[in-house]
Amino acid sequence: MDDLGLALVVEDDDDVRHLVEDVLRQAGFEVLSAATGREGAEIARREDPAVVTLDLGLPDIDGFEVLRRIRTSSDAYVVMLTARDEEPDTILALQSGADDYLIKPFRPRELRA
C-alpha cells in the first residue's frame, strides 16, 4: 500500500465519516477526522494534511467558513463532500478554493479516484 500522506475527514455524520475514513485508508492515507468545523479547521492548521474531505452542513460553522480557514494556511486538495446539489453551492465552493465537489450519496470508488 502506498503512503499518500495525511488525509482529514470533516464530517458530522458518524456513518459517512467512518465510510470516508475507510476509503481513504484503503487508498493509502493516514486519516484524521473531525465532527465539527472548528475542530476540522484546527486540525488542518496544525497537521497540514495532503487531502481534506469537507461537508458543508456542519453543526457549528459551515463548510464554506472551514474552507476559508483552511485556505489561509494550506494548499491541501479539498474535496467538498455534501448533500447540497444546487449549482450555486458547487460554484461557490469551487470559487472559494475547493478542488472538487462530490454530492452525497457518493460512490466510494469515485471518492478514492
Domains in the chain and their CATH numbers?
A: 6-112 (3.40.50.2300)
Interval 26-81: pLDDT, tens:
999 999 999 999 999 999 999 999 999 999 999 999 999 999 999 999 999 999 99
SS3 34: strand
Q: What's the CA gap between 20 and 103, in Å, rounded?
A: 13
User: Which pTM does this prediction carry?
Assistant: 0.94
In whole angstroms, what is the distance from residue 9 CA to residue 52 CA? Answer: 6
Alpha carbons 94 and 40: distance in angstroms, whole number:
19
